[in-house]
Structure 1
Amino acid sequence: MIQYCLNITSLYPNHPLPMVLIFCVDKTAPRNLLAKFQPCDEKPWLKLFPCTGWASNCYLVSNDAPDDGDTVLDPLHAISLFFSQQQSSLHSHAHAHDLTIKGLYQLIMALCEEDQTYESNFLKTINDVYDTHGKLYDRINNAIKYIPGTRKACQIIARARQYNSKVKRRFSMIDTDSDSSLEIPAKLPISSKVTESSATPEREAAFVRQYRTSLTGKISWNDCLKRGHAEGLFKRYSTGSSLRANFGNRITNQ
C-alpha cells in the first residue's frame, strides 16, 4: 500500500498526496499492526494510521456493526459493512434498512442486469432463500425468547424452520434428468433490449401445442426450441430443458 502511494506521488508530482481508505473484510494480521492505528475522535468508526510523506491521511474503516440495527450509518461505514458481511441478499444484512446499504444492493443488481447473463441455478436459489429465512427466524427468536408470554410464538417459529427445511430437502431431491424436472432457464438475458408484445406468451403456448400435435412420438424440447427461435419465439429461453420446465405441464394437462 505504501509503495503504491509512493508510485502515485511519483507519477503525479504536482498533485496533492493521496488519501487512503482501508476496508478490511477479514481480521487484521498481524495483530500488532492494528495497534498502530489510532482512534479518530470525530468519527469513531475510523482509525488513523501514520502516513508522513506518502499520503495526506490514512484511515482504516471499521467493519464492526453497531448493536442497534436501526442506527443510521455513515456512508463510508456502510460500504465497509457491505464488503465485510458479504450477504447474498439484502434481508440477510444486519442493517438492511439503511439507505446506503439498500443503494449498494440496488447498484449491484443494476450492474448485473446490464453487463451479465445469469446462469440460473435452481438449487442455489433454494439454498439462498432457505439461508435467508433461517437467519430471519433466528433474529426473531433471539429478540422475543426471553419476553414473557412468547412461548407460543417461539413454537411457531420452530415449526416454520422445520417447514423451511422440508421445502429445501424436497427441491434438493428433484431428479433434474426426469420429465418432471423443475429447471430454470440456463441463460436468461435480463435486459431491456429484448422486447416482446403481451401476446408473445400466448403465441408461444400455441406454437408448442401445434408442435406437439404434429408428432407421433415423444416431444423433443430442443427441436421445439430451435424451431421456435426460427419463428422469432422463445427469446427468453436458451435450452430445451428450460422450455420444458415452463410448458411441459401445460401440454400434459391439455
Structure 2
Amino acid sequence: MGRQSPFLLQIGVFILFFILQAATMRDRIIGGREAKPHSRPYMASIQFKGKNICGGALVNRIWVMSAAHCFDNLRPESMQVVLGAHSVTAQEPSQQNFTVQASISHPNYNMETLENDIHLLKLNKAALVNDFVRKISLPKQGEDVTPRRKCIIAGWGDTTDFETHPKALMETNTEVVSRASCNSSWTGSISQHMVCATSPDNVKRGFCSGDSGAPLVCMNRAVGVVSFSSFRCANPRFPDVYTRVSEFISWMEDVMRSF
C-alpha cells in the first residue's frame, strides 16, 4: 500500500479536530456579560460530580424545569441542584444544595429531533425562598411569543468554543424570530413546540447547545428552554432553538400533582 500524502493526513487531522470540538461543545453563553449578582434568582445549576452540566429554572419551591437531553444518561441519584448561586466554582452563603428525588422527561421526547425537549426535576426538599432564590413565572398554556420580542438568556457554561469556563453567571440579550424564518435556516425542522431567537444586531451572541436547560426569559416569564443550536455557537444564520414552554404547561401541572 502506497504512502499517504502529508496533505491528506493534515486534512484528516483537521476534520478530527472539528469532530471533537462538536462533541464537546455544550452549555455555554457566547458574547455575554457577567450578570448582576443574584439578579436571576430563578436560575438553577444542575451538577454532576460537582461540575455544572446544565441549567434550569425553579418553577415552584420543589420543582426545577430543564431540557430532557441533559438527562439522557444520568440517574437521579448522580445529580445535584444548586440554587442561589452567582459563582458555581465557589462556596457562597446564598447557595442552597439539593439532591434529586424524581427526574421526569416528557414522554414524547425524541433525542434525535429534540422534539418535546423538556424535563422536570423534583428536589429532595422545598427551597427556601428569599432574595437569592425565587421561582420564575411561566406563560399560559398555548400562549405564543411574538417575533422581535427582546429576551435574556443566562448560564454558567463555557464562554468560547474552546471550553473557557466563566467565574460567575453570564447573560446575554437575544430576540425572538418567526418560526417561518427559523425554518428557512433549519430546513423545516422547527415545530410549533419550539421557539427561535438570535442576536438582534448580528453580533455573535447566544448559547451553544446549552446552557442546555436554561430558561429563555421574555417579559419576566420563562417562555423557552435552551434546546439546540448550530455547529458554531451563536451563528446568526442559524437561530438558537428553545423548547416552547407554553405547549407543556398542562403536562407540567399533571407531573407536579402526581409526584
Instruction: Report the structure, 1 or 2, having the larger strand content.
Output: 2
TM-score, normalised to structure 2's length?
0.18
Larger radius of gyration: 1
TM-score, normalised to structure 1's length?
0.18
Instruction: Report the structure, 1 or 2, having the larger helix content.
Output: 1
